[in-house]
Chain A
């Protein structure tokens, strides 16, 4: 697990320092996240046998890169009521999520990565084929952040129907 959130100077070690929730494919997610939101209970969620965060990460020879955003809000507002907010909730079963206080009173670092390791070509190849789960997940995290910070998702103006993209 070579990735680390910016500014921390150390890799994510959820068992030691954070709240970790690995969503079960069916019903485990809400329960586990509720435990996470309750602090100490969250740590119990980390170590529940078979719930899998350490095992899933350790067993995967090519873990996907963490995508991380910093939300300028406390954890309870990032995951209100201990539930995954939309649109993160739609990824139940597909991603694992980690959050911890951001240093310097910057709110909460919210991290997620796909379960099951790297399934798509990385980097430029992914851009070219349009299948980069990291970009998709990053977009989802940004939406979660924006909802927590502003209460709504900013929408672009409607495009004129004749809008034609031309090179600059």
Chain B
């Protein structure tokens, strides 16, 4: 089959690779109809994470048709249209039973790697480095889905492919930021980042009853989207003093909930510090959490800061003093898609949650490299490039 493969730093190409095969009884094979780019891919594409291998297939946000099922798959049949959570999780361990699917004990095949990096093994993900899980990505004609009864969900008939594909990752990530950030009716919510996750965090906060939702970014077209599709107020951080604006718009208190949806790949207004450069040489990837810093600084006393953006390594200049002295709650997670996807699909079917506008560029797989370039550079108003491997 054809797949979009990583070939080296900032180098992608469509190659012929072996078809995926059923490797476990709970597996199924999905024929991919939509597969979206994601900000979490960018550190991989740029070679900022170790162990990526030439030939690895990127992509973890996808939708398709069931092509083959393993003998233990009960909920799906060949031909079903499904969306699949980007998090690979068993559904049976202590973490999965509590809705913490991205923390699954049994979702990865190389637990020693993540345990070494982060202290505990974490769940798997499609399109991650082979050494961190061993599951090919979805930018391909077909993809293997482990634990299919747990991670794949039938898409209701009225929901289009272009809408439902974002139920795999961006929509649950957005919902997570609002729900685990504990947005309550009447809250003022600030969201850093007007990409797909940021916009969907804003929609989720509004659905959970927030009084004001303020989205911060520097790309005018993304901010316009947040205004139009999420009903959010917006701030361009290149044109205004964000903390002062947020204080003013929240009665001097600061936002009740601050969600960072930028991640390590967001461009920083400041150059790397000496400590960052030193740590980068000594300890691996060093991320610049400028949006996290600003969120912590802006948040009201006793409020919550939720970090949705993808970070993998270390940060410095983190304002721990503000966290402590303002009594903040700081939370984060990779999204636990299995926990929210059924609810999100229902909301999509009722037209409460709209996502198709995020697919600004629909491209065949052969234009995958160009699609990532558009996405990485935010060129041509690109929010997400979505590939259609079968045309």
Binding site for B on A (CB under 8 A): 70, 72, 106-107, 135, 138-139, 142, 145-146, 149-160, 162-168
CA distance A58 to B260 in the complex (A): 52
Q: Tell me how far the C-beta of A50 lies from the nearest C-beta in chain B, rounded to whole angstroms.
A: 36
Task: Tell me, yes or no, whether B24 is within 8 Å of chain A by CB.
Answer: yes
Assess whether B51 is in contact with A165, with CB atoms less than 8 Å apart: yes
Give the secondary structure class of B's interface: loop
CA distance A90 to B49 in the complex (A): 36
Give the B interface residue count (CB, 8 A). 44
Residues of A within 8 A of B135 (CB): 156-157
CA distance A12 to B155 in the complex (A): 49
Q: A160: nearest residue on chain B (CB-CB)? A: B55
Residues of A within 8 A of B21 (CB): 158
CA distance A105 to B255 in the complex (A): 38
Give the secondary structure class of A's interface: loop
Assess whether B136 is in contact with A164, with CB atoms less than 8 Å apart: no
Task: Tell me, yes or no, whether B130 is within 8 Å of chain A by CB.
Answer: yes
CA distance A131 to B26 in the complex (A): 34
Assess whether B94 is in contact with A150, with CB atoms less than 8 Å apart: no
Most buried by B among A145, A149, A156: A156
Instruction: Map CB proximity to A onto B108-137 as digits: 1 under 8 Å, 0 otherwise.
Output: 111110000000010010000011011110
Q: Tell me how far the C-beta of B110 lies from the nearest C-beta in chain A, rounded to whole angstroms.
A: 8
Inter-chain contact total with CB atoms closer than 8 Å? 97
Q: A146: nearest residue on chain B (CB-CB)? A: B106
CA distance A165 to B8 in the complex (A): 10
Residues of A within 8 A of B133 (CB): 156
Q: A160-B18, A168-B50 are in contact. Are A150 and B134 (CB under 8 A)?
A: no
CA distance A157 to B142 in the complex (A): 13
Apart from the given pairs A146-B106, A165-B131, 15 other A-B contacts in the complex at a CB distance below 8 Å: A72-B97, A107-B94, A145-B106, A150-B106, A154-B24, A154-B106, A154-B124, A155-B23, A156-B109, A156-B130, A158-B23, A159-B55, A159-B134, A166-B8, A168-B52
Task: Tell me, yes or no, whether B320 is within 8 Å of chain A by CB.
Answer: no
Assess whether A159 is in contact with B8, with CB atoms less than 8 Å apart: no
Q: A153: nearest residue on chain B (CB-CB)? A: B24
Q: B46: nearest residue on chain A (CB-CB)? A: A168
Q: Tell me how far the C-beta of B24 lies from the nearest C-beta in chain A, rounded to whole angstroms.
A: 5
CA distance A153 to B134 in the complex (A): 13
User: A165's contact among B18, B25, B53, B146, by CB below 8 Å, is which?
Assistant: B53
Residues of B64-111 whose CB lies within 8 A of A: 72, 90, 92-94, 97, 105-111
Q: Tell me how far the C-beta of B192 lies from the nearest C-beta in chain A, rounded to whole angstroms.
A: 26
Residues of B within 8 A of A154 (CB): 24, 90, 106-109, 124, 146-147
Q: 6 tightest CB-CB pairs across the interface, nearest first?
A: A156-B134, A168-B50, A155-B23, A156-B109, A72-B94, A160-B55
